[in-house]
Structure 1
Amino acid sequence: MKLKYYIIIFGFANFTFSQTLTLRECVEMAVEKNISVKQSALEIENANVDKSNAFGNFLPNFNAQSSHSWNIGLNQNITTGLLENVTTQFSSLGGSIGIDIYNGLQNINQLHRANLNILAKQYQLDNMIDDIKLLVANSYLQVMFNQEILTTQKSQLIIAKEQLKRTISLIDAGVLPVGDVFELEANLASQEQSIIQAENNYILSKISLAQLLQISDYENFNVVIEDLDIPFSTILDNSPKSIFEKALTLRNDIKLGVVNIEIAEKDIELAKGSLQPSLRGFYSYSNRVGYSDRLIGDGTFSDVPIGTVLSSGETVVRPIENTKISPALSLSDQLRFNEGQNYGLSLNIPIFNGFSSRNSVKRAKINLERSKNSLDQQKLDLESTINQAYNDTRGAYKFYEASQKTVKSRKIAFDNTQNRFRAGAMNSFDYVQAKQRYEQSLSDLIRAKFDYIFKLKVVEFYFGIPLEIK
């Protein structure tokens, strides 16, 4: 009972982790797990943070501050004016606000540049995804190709075994000489070697695709294997020029190049803005509170000598109000009496800064020319790639048609050879040679089919047709 239970659990586990994926599922998985894609997505988030900073430049800067201090030890008593060992306390608070009124349109240009940078990062991500799609499609078709080669080799092995068995029967019946069996046995061994090589190629292609998808358990991973026919497509009815013109509107690397030019143009405006005057408004408020006693008038006056008349020698006096020590004012009174305000405008006119600003403008213009040259080169590369892909696809289809004719001819020749061999009119060496030529034509046909399909998908992809295998 326990053994049955374990078998059920084990079988369920295998079923759970077994994966058979379509091309679309493979592409989605590769994009989802690809580290470079994740990094590029983080770049977009970072670009959005830069946009937030650019938007914040339009808002005023506001700062507040406060402090409380103790003066301990030998200090001047602010009440009596004498040096004493006394502790005094002070509190202060304040705030300031500033806003850019004009700074050479720097804030507006920085916001525009931030928006363009977000767009550039998105195109960069999309272009990376396009490359991953083509890479996955190639690996996916390679798995299907190796699987079909393996299936064909196994079918030929069955035929070889049946032919060997039939030949042995004919030898036993005296129809064929004994020596014919050795060539067939060698052919059977060669067929088994081909299967081992085909199995190895199939496993390696699965591993390669699994690595793209970051699947560690490649043994329980497979692709959807169906009878893949040559897809009907009218893409080759278009000229390479029309495909190129369509690709110019769809390719993300071209869009990225256009946005990079716009960013370079915006950098020139930013560099020129640093040469213009800037005007800034500001306002600040301050207040303070003291906790020491204070001297105030007591309402009585005393005559204090302030000088002497030279002619008469008479002393000149002045009545001065007598003072007394009084506690500090209340907090509300001090806040009312001690507040201070400061506001105004600040104008900054750049005159000379060691050619730094002007050189920044020159560098920005040079970068603009670089971006334009880069876009022109991307267009030339794209046109060359499309022309080559178009001609390769046409050539691949012609090669596929020729391979079909070859298989048909080889099949007829092999059937004729097989009939003659069974009738004893041909030796085993010539029979094996005909069989191997037929098997090679089958492999060439499979290779031609998948080569054409992939090249066709590349051209369709440039034309904006999604990658699908049906």
Structure 2
Amino acid sequence: MKLSKYPGCVLAICLLLANTVATKAQDTWSLQRSVDYALANNIDIRQQSVQKRLAELTLKQSKLVQIPTLSGGVNGNFANGRSIDPNTNSFITSAVTSYSAGLSAGANIFNFFYQQNVIASNKYNYQAQDKLLEKARNDVAFNIATAFLQILLNTEQVHISEVQVKLTMDNLANTKKLVIAGSVPESNQADLEAQLATDSVTLVNAQNQVIQSTLQMKALLNLSFDQPYVPQIPDNIAEIPLPRLDEVDPEMVYSAANSNNPLIKADQLLVKSSERSYAAYRAQMYPSITASGQAYSSYANSAKNATPVSIKTVEDVQIGTVDVGASTYKVYTKSYTYNYEFSTIPLSTQLDNNFKQTLGLSLNIPILNGWTYRTNMQKAKLNIETQKLTMEKDNQKLRQDIYTAHANAVSAIQKYYAASRGVDASQKAYDFATKRFDLGLMNTIDYITTQSKLFNAQINKVSAQYDYIFKMKLLEFYRDQKIAL
């Protein structure tokens, strides 16, 4: 037989050999390895991790706000011309260089528990983000398991297609011999050649499905698309442990999911967070008491010490009179005018002389502020209602998804049992057809039709089996919030 006449067959065989060689040269990925890698690299998980860290920083900052504020500052100033002397507070006309430094502190004494409610709200929000991160991790783990099963299903379909191609090739080889011997007409050979081309195309499509599902897995893993991914195929897919249907009753599964589902827990925490946020906004409408303090000192080069160095003039100055009898006598004293020497007061002396401290208490009473506080409080109250409705909606969807999954699981197991019976029946029909075909009692078209029915029945059984496994694992995931094969 010249394979060049059947390009589809040649392509299928080449791809099969290439995949076989590649698989032997590469390490394999188990489901657990895939999940662990995804938990460390998946983009959705990393994004949710960032949200959790942001919530943690917000919580930390709201706690640190309770610590009194403290700030310091240093100022420098140069003035030339007519200006105020910072030392005497009088006008002078000269160049003055001055410096000042100070510390100021403030503390919130009482604010009707506003900050405590803010902290509590941020704490609940942080816990909710932690639960949402847990949900993201669970969702990714389940998606990885789903993609893993899809790869296994597609790989199994490739194996069935390979068997079909080999079987058709064997039949074609035998038919060719019979044609040469003149036992069967040449049209039988042509029919099998057409069937081989069809089976080869089916094999190529099945191999492409493996490639597509592998690319989907790489996207979930955030794995480089040029990096190989070969799944570790279980020895027997039928041995994967599955719960019984009575162990995953929908109401029982919902009860378990309602208590351990991270999304439901996150909704409950977000409701608590919004309630505390409402209490915080309400506290803003009441008076608050704050304390403040300041320590301050300054220096200026215009501050001078005047030291007398010599007497400039001496004058007699009358300071009063004295009556003695009928006579009045003037009283004089000496008035001295000195020559002074001026020197700048030292820095340490000025800082000590100018050092001052203040303490204060203030009462802030909100009266009119554009209705801001009241509007914020009303918005926070509506946010509570929104969060409660979100929680109710998520609960409703969870119950609906569980009941739908249970109904699908019941349908899937019935389809699997039906598909299994279909394979048994198709196999018997094919065995009888093979014997009749070998004896020349069945034409090629009928034989190919019987063979195709067996092939389709095998494909349907494999699809039904994996669909059943997936549906049962979905119920198990809702119940336990974990996935394993």
Q: TM-score range by the shorter chain?
A: 0.7 to 0.9
Equivalent of 1:120, from 128, 133, 138?
A: 128
Secondary structure of 2:392's aligned partner: helix
Task: Write the distance in 2 (CA, Å) between the matches of 1:16 and 1:101.
Answer: 72
Deviations 1:379-414 (A, max 9, x none): 000000000001101110111011111100110111
Task: Write the distance in 2 (CA, Å) between the matches of 1:382 and 1:223.
Answer: 31
The runs of 5 or more residues in structure 1 that have no matched partner are 1-13, 308-313
Asked whether 1:328 is paired with 2:344, we answer yes
1:414-425 equivalences under 5 Å are 414-425=430-441
* Structure-2 residue corresponding to 1:92: 100
Asked whether 1:229 is paired with 2:245, we answer no
1:379-458 equivalences under 5 Å are 379-458=395-474
Task: Write the distance in 1 (CA, Å) between the matches of 2:332 and 2:69.
Answer: 56
Query: How far is the alpha carbon of 1:332 from its aligned partner?
Result: 3.6
Contact persistence 2:319–2:333 (CA under 8 A): yes
Query: How far is the alpha carbon of 1:91 from its aligned partner?
Result: 2.7
Contact persistence 2:294–2:357 (CA under 8 A): yes
CA 298–100 in structure 1, closer or farther in 2 if over 3 Å, else same: farther
The runs of 5 or more residues in structure 2 that have no matched partner are 1-21, 321-328
Query: How far is the alpha carbon of 1:374 from its aligned partner?
Result: 0.8
* Structure-2 residue corresponding to 1:257: 267
Return the TM-score normalized by structure 1: 0.86
Contact persistence 1:297–1:321 (CA under 8 A): no
Query: How far is the alpha carbon of 1:112 from its aligned partner?
Result: 1.4
Deviations 1:311-330 (A, max 9, x none): xxx99999999674542334
Secondary structure of 1:224's aligned partner: coil
Contact persistence 1:297–1:322 (CA under 8 A): no
What amino acid sits opposite 1:249 in the alignment?
Answer: S
Q: CA RMSD in A?
A: 3.2
Asked whether 1:243 is paired with 2:259, we answer no
Deviations 1:8-32 (A, max 9, x none): xxxxxx8999452112222232332
* Structure-1 residue corresponding to 2:78: 70
CA 299–287 in structure 1, closer or farther in 2 if over 3 Å, else same: farther
What amino acid sits opposite 1:229 in the alignment?
Answer: A
Worse overlay, 318-327 or 218-227 = 318-327
Query: How far is the alpha carbon of 1:54 from its aligned partner?
Result: 0.9
Equivalent of 1:108, from 113, 116, 119?
A: 116
What amino acid sits opposite 2:448 in the alignment?
Answer: V
Task: Write the distance in 2 (CA, Å) between the matches of 1:456 and 1:200.
Answer: 27
Percent sequence identity is 25
What amino acid sits opposite 2:160 in the alignment?
Answer: T
Deviations 1:258-277 (A, max 9, x none): 11101110111111110111
Asked whether 1:169 is paired with 2:177, we answer yes
Task: Write the distance in 2 (CA, Å) between the matches of 1:277 and 1:183.
Answer: 94
What amino acid sits opposite 1:98 in the alignment?
Answer: G
Secondary structure of 2:285's aligned partner: coil
Asked whether 1:215 is paired with 2:231, we answer no
Query: How far is the alpha carbon of 1:199 from its aligned partner?
Result: 1.7
Query: How far is the alpha carbon of 1:230 from its aligned partner?
Result: 5.2
Task: Write the distance in 1 (CA, Å) between the matches of 2:354 and 2:407.
Answer: 87
CA 221–234 in structure 1, closer or farther in 2 if over 3 Å, else same: closer
Equivalent of 2:138, from 130, 136, 144?
A: 130
Task: Write the distance in 2 (CA, Å) between the matches of 1:299 and 1:177.
Answer: 147
* Structure-1 residue corresponding to 2:361: 345
What amino acid sits opposite 2:237 in the alignment?
Answer: L
CA 165–280 in structure 1, closer or farther in 2 if over 3 Å, else same: same
Query: How far is the alpha carbon of 1:129 from its aligned partner?
Result: 2.3
Deviations 1:141-173 (A, max 9, x none): 221111111111111211112222223334444
* Structure-2 residue corresponding to 1:277: 287
What amino acid sits opposite 1:35 in the alignment?
Answer: I
